[in-house]
């Protein structure tokens, strides 16, 4: 199995690139953000609990994030491998991940970090705000808050994978296809 964590701040293009990677390498895309938004639409008990946190730009609890990733994995037992987008977002989630994946006889192969200049991130997020109906993308203040939480809580998760020798970073400022080529080069080095 090939299991890749696509890592980066909000607006770094994880969602766009995840889709391209899963198509090319025949993997399953697991986005905890998408899964949580589905739970909110379906009004599951987890969705109801998550909604206020997410709308305000906060993270859901580690327990909630772990519950949602387990559900997603259970739904795709026959996959060739996964692209994880939005998980792990805390060091605790990263530490729990081997145990979560053990049930499937697999582990994370590689974290690929998409590095984007902060001014470009902000520009992209403000543009996304105009086009989309995500409440957490609508207000500038919430966008800044999410970037701050990312820098405080999530950016350090890369150190966990660096220490395991499972970390690569690519520059993600340019065009979608150029960034995708760089990601493929990294994947092929490991695969
Ligand atoms: P973005 O790509 O803009 O970072 P996502 O769609 O990945 O946003 O996630 C949206 C929201 O869902 C996050 O801001 C957070 O509130 C919640 N969320 C998603 N994954 C996790 C996680 N692993 N841990 C905690 N909260 C999460």
Q: Identify the three-state secondary structure at position 85.
A: strand
Pocket flag, ligand 1, residue 10 (CB < 6 Å): yes
Q: Distance from the CA of 88 to the center of ligand 1, in angstroms?
A: 10
> Which pLDDT band, with edges at 50, 70 and 90, does 131 fall under?
confident
DSSP state of 66: H
Q: Is 105 left (phi over 0), alpha (psi -120 to 50) or beta?
A: left
Mean pLDDT lowest among 69-73, 123-127, 134-138, 160-164: 134-138
Query: What pLDDT, on a 0 to 100 scale, did the predictor assign at position 87?
Result: 98
- Residue whose Cα lies nearest atom 10 of ligand 1: it is 33
Please give the Cα distance from 28 to 72 (Å, whole number). Answer: 10
* Domain layout of the chain by residue ranges: 2-190
Contacts of 55 (CB under 8 A, 6+ apart): 135, 136
Pocket flag, ligand 1, residue 32 (CB < 6 Å): yes
Question: What average pLDDT score do residues 155-159 get?
Answer: 98
pTM for the whole structure: 0.94
Parallel/antiparallel/unpaired status of strands 167-171 and 110-115: parallel
Parallel/antiparallel/unpaired status of strands 2-7 and 28-31: unpaired
Please give the Cα distance from 61 to 4 (Å, whole number). Answer: 23
Pocket flag, ligand 1, residue 33 (CB < 6 Å): yes
Omega of the bond prior to 88 within 30 degrees of 0, cis?
yes
Question: What average pLDDT score do residues 59-88 get?
Answer: 96
Decide if pLDDT at 136 tops 80.
Answer: no
> Which pLDDT band, with edges at 50, 70 and 90, does 134 fall under?
confident
- Whether 134 sits among the annotated catalytic residues: the reply is yes
Q: Relative to the CA of 146, which ligand 1 atom is closest? A: 14
Please give the Cα distance from 152 to 171 (Å, whole number). Answer: 21
Q: Identify the three-state secondary structure at position 153.
A: helix
Decide if pLDDT at 142 tops 90.
Answer: no
Q: Which comes out higher in pLDDT, residue 3 or 142?
A: 3
Instruction: Please give the CATH topology (third level) of the domain spanning 2-190.
Output: Rossmann fold (3.40.50)
Question: What average pLDDT score do residues 126-141 get?
Answer: 78
> Which pLDDT band, with edges at 50, 70 and 90, does 129 fall under?
confident
Mean pLDDT lowest among 28-32, 139-143, 145-149: 139-143
Query: What pLDDT, on a 0 to 100 scale, did the predictor assign at position 81?
Result: 96
Q: Relative to the CA of 14, which ligand 1 atom is closest? A: 2
With beta carbons less than 8 A apart as the criterion, state whether 169 and 113 touch: yes
Which phi and psi (to 5°) does residue 173 adopt? -80, -25
Percent of the chain with pLDDT over 90: 85
Contacts of 141 (CB under 8 A, 6+ apart): none
- Whether 89 sits among the annotated catalytic residues: the reply is yes
Please give the Cα distance from 29 to 72 (Å, whole number). Answer: 10
């Amino acid at each position: 199995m090939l299991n890749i964590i696509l890592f980066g701040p909000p607006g770094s293009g994880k969602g766009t690139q995840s889709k391209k990677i899963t198509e090319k390498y025949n993997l399953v895309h697991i986005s905890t953000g998408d899964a949580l938004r589905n739970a909110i639409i379906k009004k599951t008990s987890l969705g109801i609990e998550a909604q206020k946190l997410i709308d305000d730009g906060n993270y859901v609890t580690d327990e909630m994030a772990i519950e949602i990733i387990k559900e997603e994995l259970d739904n795709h037992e026959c996959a060739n491998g996964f692209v994880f987008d939005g998980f792990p977002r805390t060091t605790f989630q990263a530490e729990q991940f081997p145990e979560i994946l053990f049930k499937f006889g697999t582990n994370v192969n590689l974290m690929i970090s998409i590095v984007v200049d902060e001014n470009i991130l902000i520009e992209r997020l403000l543009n996304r705000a105009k086009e989309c109906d995500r409440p957490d993308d609508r207000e500038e203040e919430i966008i800044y808050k999410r970037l701050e939480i990312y820098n405080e809580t999530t950016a350090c998760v890369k150190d966990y994978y660096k220490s395991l020798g499972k970390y690569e970073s690519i520059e993600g400022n340019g065009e979608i296809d150029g960034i995708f080529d760089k990601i493929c080069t990294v994947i092929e080095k490991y695969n």
